[in-house]
Amino acid sequence: MGLWKRLLINARAWALCGLAVRHALTLGLHVRNEAKELSDIAKEQRVRLWWSLYSMECSLNELTGRPTCISDQDISTPLPVNADVDEMRPGQSLYDHDHDRKKRYSSHGMFSTTLWHIYLLIAFEDNSAADFTMPMGTVRPLVYAYPILELPITSSTYFIYQTQLTIISHEIVSHLYCAATIKVKWHDVQSTIKRIDQHLLRWRDSLPNEFNINFDDWPEPDWNNEFTVLRIGLALHYHSSRMILFRPCLCRFDKDSRFGGQSAESQAFNQSAVVNCIESAHRTISMLKGAARSMERLFLIAPWWQTIHFLCEAMSILVLEMGYRAQHMRKDAKDILDDAKKGVNWLAKMAGRSISARKAWEIYDILVKATAPMIGWSVFDMASEAPCPPEYKASI
């Protein structure tokens, strides 16, 4: 278990996943399969394999900060069919072979086999949503658009919603964090942020009650509910995407040359984006608060191997704001520090079971203690020691 988690955060995992993706591209798993000799079950297995590799590749890109080998423009394969995997049988028909685009649901309420078409529909009402602007200014049509649909609950529903969110996250990384972005005007970067944020909000608003990721009115998670862990997993991924999306705005407005001579509207957007970024960090800490009472629950959250990453991602945002002397949210300086200290204390508790948590504790323990005085607060209540897991070697 520990070896697998370590592999996921180093270059070997990224390289191996990239190799697997290239093999999948060679086999044509990224395009819609029209082969008549293949059964629907065989086609569906290929669809699910592709999106599993896609999700892993995108996660590793975020974890390592390395570029992706996938272009969404090349993808035409649909998302998985929203059906119970255990009920699939050889010879079963999963897709609508008469191409009825109007019939979306079957008579018994299950998701219809017209998914081949529904998943290729443009997700937004306005025509401008069918295009996206590449960093170099070239406008190209979207080949694949994720659906905005409320799906019946099956064993595949979580995977579909997770994949939809991964597609948006991939859009964030490939459009905002590529080398060509450095040549783009800040106004265009803001437009890209606004557009992708609308994608995220529409995805969030499309979720049914079972997968609702709003935890504002839920002070204590109901761990007996079968959807609780899945909801938290989706919510963590959602707020992680928003932190990455708004992160370019989290900087020193008075020092960065990009922010010179901006209009009042542009300045207001920058401030709003920073607030959204920090707010997502707060919500990540808040969601983990209930699980942190038990280390077993922390490792139950799906995907379990990203929990430490999401936690450290939120702490990075909070520490960065403290390093800027909380200039964007001065009134919330104490809350920012309190959440950062919670994260350090949780990492200290997790350190005995995870080398990654131990190394993360070492880094953030130093960072929080160094930045807390910048906002005029102390850190006397932070853990001063953390346990060492087996085979641990100190890095600092």
Q: Which residues contact 295 (CB under 8 A, 6 or more apart)?
A: 349, 350, 353
Task: Please give the DSSP secondary-structure letter assigned to residue 105.
Answer: B
Q: Would you say residue 388 lies in a domain?
A: yes
pLDDT tens-digit series, residues 150-164: 678 888 899 999 999
Total count of residues recorded for the chain: 396
Tell me which residue range forms the domain holding 283.
212-396
Residue 151 sits in the same domain as residue 241: no
Residue 92 Cα to chain centre, angstroms: 34
Domain boundary among 140, 158, 176: 158
Task: Please give the DSSP secondary-structure letter assigned to residue 152.
Answer: P
Domain boundary among 142, 158, 174: 158
Residue 244 sits in the same domain as residue 307: yes
Q: How many CB atoms lie within 10 A of CB 169?
A: 24
Q: How many CB atoms lie within 10 A of CB 352?
A: 15
Q: Would you say residue 167 lies in a domain?
A: no
CA proximity to 40, closest of 94, 108, 3: 94
Rounded to two decimals, the pTM is 0.84
Q: What is the largest CA-CA distance in the chain?
A: 70
- Domain total of the chain: 2
Q: Would you say residue 194 lies in a domain?
A: no
CA proximity to 249, closest of 327, 303, 310: 327
Residue 233 sits in the same domain as residue 373: yes
Residue-level pLDDT at 113:
33
Q: Would you say residue 170 lies in a domain?
A: no
Give pLDDT < 70 ranges for the chain.
Answer: 1-10, 89, 91-93, 95-150, 217-219, 253-260, 302-304, 393-396
**What pairs with residue 105 in β-bridges?**
111
Residue 120 sits in the same domain as residue 233: no
**What pairs with residue 132 in β-bridges?**
140
pLDDT tens-digit series, residues 268-305: 999 999 999 999 999 999 988 877 777 777 777 766 67
**Segment 129-135 long-range contacts (CB within 8 Å, at least 24 positions apart):** 129/195, 132/171, 132/175, 132/195, 133/188, 133/191, 133/192, 134/175, 134/180, 135/175, 135/178, 135/180, 135/181, 135/183, 135/184
Q: Where are the beta strands (DSSP E) in the chain?
A: 131-133, 139-141
Residue 225 sits in the same domain as residue 88: no
Residue-level pLDDT at 9:
52
Q: Would you say residue 165 lies in a domain?
A: no
Residue 151 sits in the same domain as residue 219: no
Residue 364 sits in the same domain as residue 295: yes
Measured CA to CA, the distance from residue 297 to residue 315 in angstroms comes to 20
Residue 274 sits in the same domain as residue 384: yes
Q: Would you say residue 180 lies in a domain?
A: no
Residue 152 sits in the same domain as residue 263: no
Q: Which residues contact 115 (CB under 8 A, 6 or more apart)?
A: 78, 79, 81, 82, 95, 96
Q: Would you say residue 315 lies in a domain?
A: yes
Residue-level pLDDT at 57:
93
Residue-level pLDDT at 218:
61
